[in-house]
Amino acid sequence: PRAEQRHAADHYFDCVQLYNIKNNIAERIPSRMPVLRDSIGYRYLSLPAGDTATIIAEMTSVKTYNSMLIVRLIKENYLPGYNALTMAKQKDMDILTYTICGLMLMMIFFSLANYVQGGNNEFLYYACYAFFTGLMLFLARANTMYATRANFLIEGYLDFALHVTGYCFYMIFMRKY
């Protein structure tokens, strides 16, 4: 019987290494990834038909509140469809988040208009707050469920830095206003 080509999926885990346990000894499975935008989240497994195996995964979680592990065995030719279905489930949250980002953009325009008309520097701080908060929301939503190095950086560090920066500008705005 021919070997089945399947992949295991994970999101927001870095440095994924699979091991096959044989006779109580862990044998490292070479890391092979499919050709996808977020191929970091998938690993190739091959077992002969009717065979069984004990597989152990060693992973490092990305520093994020979104960490999730979805273990699925997916035939290689179904992988693009599975990936598209996973992304399609996020559409409702996309609409909500992009609407909020649009509101943040309107807040920026309103604040800049107030600054131009009145010359109050406080509104520049408020515009910066809205910009950094809107950028944080946009980047988080635009890359949700993609397991890429850039997304790991955004979810792990940049997201927090943008949130803190926006919050600091808001506190300055509150004090000056």
Residues 122, 173 contacting (CB under 8 angstroms): yes
Residues 50, 1 contacting (CB under 8 angstroms): yes
* DSSP-H helix ranges across the chain: 79-88, 91-118, 122-142, 149-153, 159-176
DSSP state of 44: E
> What is this structure's pTM?
0.61
Give residue-wise pLDDT tens across range 148-176. Answer: 666 666 776 788 889 999 999 999 999 98
CA distances in angstroms from 2 to 5, 45, 50, 77, 103, listed in the order given: 9, 13, 10, 15, 55
DSSP state of 58: E
Give residue-wise pLDDT tens across range 14-44. Answer: 677 888 888 888 888 887 777 766 666 677 7
Residues 143, 62 contacting (CB under 8 angstroms): no
Residue with more model confidence, 141 or 153: 141
Residues 58, 23 contacting (CB under 8 angstroms): no
DSSP state of 34: -
Band of pLDDT at residue 45, cut at 50, 70 and 90 = confident
